Amino acid sequence: MGKLADYLVLLRFPGLGGLAIPPVIAAVSVGTFDLFTLFLLFLIGSYSAVFGFVLNDLVDIEVDKKSEELKDRPLVSGKISPQAALWICFTCIMLTLVTFFILFYGEVITFYRFVAIICILIAWVLGSIYDVYGKRIFASDILVALSVAFIFLIGVFALNKDPNVFTWIIFVLTFNNLFHMNAIEGGIKDADHDVLMNVNNIALRSGVKVDEKKLFIPKSFQLLSMTVRISSVILLFLPFIFFNHSFYIWQLVVLAVASLGVLFFSVKLLTLKIFNRNEIRKYISIQSFLRYSLVPIMLIYIIGIFPAIILILLPIVWYIVFTPLTDVKLFQPRM
């Protein structure tokens, strides 16, 4: 793996098409389609995601050294120095502030725009606490989920827009998705080496364990996972059932099929009996891409079919284009 590939892996660059998109979705949900504005919001989402992942990798170097499968990570292998990682984190903060300045240039700093600044500060604080102390704080996945949910809100408040029903539904969906990704999917994926460091997370406390490659996932953990997933599905249909928002019949059919796909692969992950990290990663990746499609489908009637298709395809196309540069197989990311 060359130096460029090392940095792309560290930055999670192939995943940024999906990881950076929450504030963009927030903006289009309140009627903003200016490409330059959306680009700036995408940058803010990117910097926030990179900051979180790099800081987490930096803190977890010693933990990751205990896993044979993670020995090739850029920081663990020494291909990228901790000092370089620190500079990346600092640069992300500075670039975020510069992007906010460009976004607000010539505009009055209203209450909503001030709230947007508060949102990024809250996101940084919560994300940093999770990265540094998360393995010692039980259910710290709530912190990182809230962090990304506040990043989402920036796409509304930074544009001085009034939040609507969709804003708050997607806010909760963002929280649910990140909580599931970290607490459930991450808990299963890292169950083999988290136990070596006495990590205080929901998965281990629930009884998830690996014994000679045999994976045990208790019913209580499966119930938690499906509760989060099913509540998200209910939220997706909430605007049309209880708030009388307009919709296309075919839109709800597609939304139902995509939702069932997420539930199906969630069950596949939860019922694995053998610990195979590559297979686990595959199921996580498939769930991620299906999940990225749900909110754009929900918004089709108010944002239009073409913007929705772009939002659905962007994470997938971005991933397919940039993954080969990292020497990593498709749908089996180093996570």
Query: For position 194, what pLDDT does the model report?
Result: 82
Per-residue pLDDT of the chain (335 residues; tens, 9 = 90+): 578 889 999 999 999 999 999 999 999 999 999 999 999 999 999 999 999 999 999 998 887 777 677 778 899 888 999 999 999 999 999 999 999 999 999 999 999 999 999 999 999 999 999 999 988 899 999 999 999 999 999 999 999 999 999 999 999 999 999 999 999 999 999 888 788 777 889 999 999 999 988 999 999 999 999 999 999 999 999 999 999 899 999 999 999 999 999 999 999 999 999 999 889 988 998 999 899 999 999 999 999 999 999 999 999 999 999 999 887 776 655 54
Whole-angstrom distance, CA of residue 186 vs CA of residue 14: 18
Query: For position 335, what pLDDT does the model report?
Result: 47
216: which strand partners? Answer: 209
Whole-angstrom distance, CA of residue 188 vs CA of residue 170: 25
Cβ proximity of 229 and 180 under 8 Å: yes
**What are the extents of the domains in the chain?**
3-326
Cβ proximity of 154 and 26 under 8 Å: yes
Q: Which residues of 168-183 are buried (b: 16+ CB within 10 A; e: fewer)?
A: ebbbebbbbbbbbbbb
Looking up tokens 């291909």 gives: 79
